[in-house]
């Protein structure tokens, strides 16, 4: 009886430790969180922000979205002349 109570208390504590442990974020070689921080070599530490490669992709997508023709504009026809 005592052993089963001790085992159940121990298992509840172990389960609580597993659930309460924070999840580790993915880190780069320099220790920065991937996608959240970038390495600043001049300061020698991580800074918040996106990498220059990530920023370039979003700028290109935004520029491409602005240059696409509007589908509604193609469907409009000039009124027929009498």
Domain membership of residue 50 (yes or no) is yes
pLDDT per residue as tens digits for the range 13-33: 887 777 766 667 788 888 888
pLDDT of residue 58: 58
Distance from the Cα of residue 8 to its chain's centroid: 39
> Considering its fold, how many domains does the chain have in total?
1
pTM comes to: 0.37
Domain membership of residue 41 (yes or no) is yes
Q: Residue 61's pLDDT band (boundaries 50, 70, 90)? A: low
Averaged over 56-76, what is the pLDDT?
A: 62
pLDDT of residue 76: 63
Q: What's phi and psi for 38, nearest 5 deg?
A: -125, 155
Domain membership of residue 77 (yes or no) is no
How far apart are alpha carbons 40 and 50 in whole angstroms?
Answer: 12
Q: Are the C-beta atoms of residues 66 and 54 closer than 8 Å to each other?
A: no
* 3-state DSSP percent of the chain in helix, strand and coil, to 5: 50, 10, 40
pLDDT of residue 26: 83
Higher pLDDT, 21 or 3: 3
Domain membership of residue 31 (yes or no) is yes
Domain membership of residue 44 (yes or no) is yes
Domain housing 41: 25-62
Residues pairing with 27 in the sheet: 33
């Amino acid at each position: 009886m005592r052993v089963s109570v001790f085992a159940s208390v121990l298992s509840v504590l172990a389960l609580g430790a597993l659930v309460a442990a924070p999840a580790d974020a993915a880190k780069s070689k320099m220790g920065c969180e991937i996608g959240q921080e970038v390495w600043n070599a001049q300061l020698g530490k991580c800074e918040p922000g996106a990498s220059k490669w990530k920023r370039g992709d979003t700028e290109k997508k935004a520029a491409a979205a602005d240059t696409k023709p509007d589908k509604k504009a193609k469907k409009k026809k000039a009124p027929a002349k009498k």
